[in-house]
Amino acid sequence: MNAIVKAPGQQDGSKAATLIVDNKQITMPVRSGTIGPDVVDIGKVYANSGVFTYDPGFTSTANCSSKITYIDGDEGVLLYRGYPIEQLAEKSSHIEVCHLLLNGELPNQKQFDEFRSVITRHTMVHEQMTRFFSGFRRDAHPMAIMCGSVGALSAFYHDSTDIHDPVQRMIASHRMIAKMPTLAAMAFKYSIGQPFIYPSNALDYTSNFLQMCFAVPCEPYNVDPVLSRALDRIFILHADHEQNASTSTVRLAGSSGANPFACIAAGIACLWGPAHGGANEAALKMLMEIGDKKNIPAFVARAKDKNSGQRLMGFGHRVYKNYDPRAKVMQQTCREVLAKLGVNDPLLETAMELEQIALHDDYFIEKKLYPNVDFYSGIVLRALGFPTSMFTVLFAVARTVGWIAQWKEMIEDPEQKIGRPRQLYVGAPKRDYTDVAKRA
Ligand code: ACO
């Protein structure tokens, strides 16, 4: 079999690609987005040629078209609905970014007030959820509690699980964005044996979350606006990242018609993995292991040696082959938080020195390995008072709006089909069953 792919122009000006399989020519449409690479539409390849395409990890395959987020990994660009992440991190708020991602546009004042009010008024969870929590072991990982409790929301909110009803879809979306901080704070409180703190409608989204995490009933708690703003910015930076593993999981789960709470629970399970949501914890551990700055050169040498099994955590990215734009904002946020708290964390010094050494090292330059968002975020979250077991939970709180916006977009997409990848079968060919007595 020979297979050749060409991409000549069509007579009508539209683009097309040609695949030749066993001397049979198949023409495939080439589709263009607003920005970014074109895609070859291979949807009819099997029907027309009898072959599948093979792409483990989807390194070259688009699974959908989307209007939500755009990444240019070579240039280090991240846009939400067209707006650069740096501008949103500086000027916007997470709640406004939630409106943008979910509804497509920045809200005017009236829309903003309404949206904020709707989210604020959905932050409480059904009182029976507290009894659901007490079924977990006290030492359960908060991500285990999140997987279970978010999935359980579908048992409490039947009136917003009809995915074919646009009103119910929107109510479910609001509920997810509003209740996720409450559940995350409850998971934290449960793990440290403190009473749950109810949400407060007087506070903004992120201040309310900090209060639910760090207040105790026996004394007043005042949210520090600098720290609240810093966490809000971290939420903005993590709000969406197009078709990453957990978002693709949410879309795949949703493609079967599963309810949105179940789909988000699936996304949380995927995010839990160390290659996805757990990298900031690994980066923090690495900085602690390095300890003194004088140990950096030896550590960098190990990270460059494939046989050492050691990587420079918080460096490199599947998509970004340039500085992750979120890492720049995160470094600034890190400085602000430490300054506000009056903390002189030697890990920040170690991180900055390590970054400089790696950025000037031929190995990292040639392989286009730059700091990613996780390089500095662990230092900030630790300074804010969160244990490492909560880091991925905070990521889940932030990413909820991205998951739900992508889920909603998928349900409303007329091209949507159940996700069902094909495979290259490499197992035994057909063979006959033999009786156990006759087997070797
Ligand atoms: N330190 C040292 N070498 C590295 C690193 C690193 N952090 N990252 C990649 N490399 C090297 C690899 O050894 C490989 O070398 P080779 O070409 O000689 O074989 C080359 O760079 C390419 O690496 P891949 O693993 O093939 O690249 P991929 O795109 O699959 O991986 C990943 C990206 C997983 C993020 C990787 O860079 C890594 O493991 N980084 C550290 C973990 C990390 O920070 N993850 C967070 C990602 S951001 C997020 O999830 C929010």
**Which tens digit of pLDDT belongs to each residue from 76-111?**
999 999 999 999 999 999 999 999 999 999 999 999
Tokens of 194: 């403190």
Residue entry with tokens 């067209």:
82
**pLDDT at residue 216 is higher than 70:** yes
Residue entry with tokens 């159940």:
418
**pLDDT at residue 36 is higher than 80:** yes
Predicted confidence at residue 277, as pLDDT, reads: 85
**pLDDT at residue 415 is higher than 80:** yes
Predicted confidence at residue 1, as pLDDT, reads: 52
At 280-293, the pLDDT tens digits run 888 888 999 998 88
The answer to whether residue 374 is catalytic is yes
Per-residue pLDDT, averaged over 66-75, amounts to 96
At 357-384, the pLDDT tens digits run 999 999 999 999 999 988 889 889 999 9
Supply the DSSP string of 171-188, one letter for each residue: HHHHHHHHHHHHHHHHHH
Q: What is the DSSP letter of 75?
A: T
At 139-195, the pLDDT tens digits run 999 999 999 999 999 999 988 899 999 999 999 999 999 999 999 999 999 999 999
Predicted confidence at residue 343, as pLDDT, reads: 82
Element (H, E) at 16: strand 16-21
**pLDDT at residue 206 is higher than 90:** yes
What confidence category does residue 10 fall into, taking pLDDT thresholds of 50, 70 and 90?
low
What confidence category does residue 318 fall into, taking pLDDT thresholds of 50, 70 and 90?
confident
User: How many angstroms separate the alpha carbon of residue 369 from the centre of ligand 1?
Assistant: 7
Ligand 1: which atom is nearest the Cα of residue 303? 2
Predicted confidence at residue 280, as pLDDT, reads: 83
**pLDDT at residue 348 is higher than 90:** no
User: How many angstroms separate the alpha carbon of residue 316 from the centre of ligand 1?
Assistant: 5
Predicted confidence at residue 281, as pLDDT, reads: 84
Predicted confidence at residue 5, as pLDDT, reads: 57
Residue entry with tokens 């889920």:
407
What are the strands of the beta sheet with 16-21, ordered from one edge?
3-6, 16-21, 24-31, 39-40
Taking the C-alpha atoms of residue 152 and residue 158, their distance in angstroms, rounded to an integer, is: 11
Q: What is the mean pLDDT of the chain?
A: 93
**Please, which residues bridge with residue 273 across strands?**
none
Parallel, antiparallel or unpaired: strands 83-84 and 69-72: unpaired
Supply angle C-alpha 39, 40, 46, rounded to 5. Answer: 140
Predicted confidence at residue 432, as pLDDT, reads: 97
Active-site residue identified among 374, 413, 432, 435: 374
Taking the C-alpha atoms of residue 63 and residue 80, their distance in angstroms, rounded to an integer, is: 19
Taking the C-alpha atoms of residue 128 and residue 94, their distance in angstroms, rounded to an integer, is: 29
Active-site residue identified among 317, 324, 345, 362: 317
Nearest to 38, CA basis, from 29, 47, 46, 25: 29
Q: Which residue has a Cα nearest atom 26 of ligand 1?
A: 318
The verdict on pTM exceeding 0.85 is yes
Nearest to 69, CA basis, from 234, 233, 243: 243
Taking the C-alpha atoms of residue 35 and residue 149, their distance in angstroms, rounded to an integer, is: 39
**pLDDT at residue 345 is higher than 90:** no
Taking the C-alpha atoms of residue 433 and residue 203, their distance in angstroms, rounded to an integer, is: 67
Predicted confidence at residue 323, as pLDDT, reads: 87
User: How many angstroms separate the alpha carbon of residue 76 from the centre of ligand 1?
Assistant: 16
What confidence category does residue 326 fall into, taking pLDDT thresholds of 50, 70 and 90?
very high
Q: Which residue has a Cα nearest atom 35 of ligand 1?
A: 317
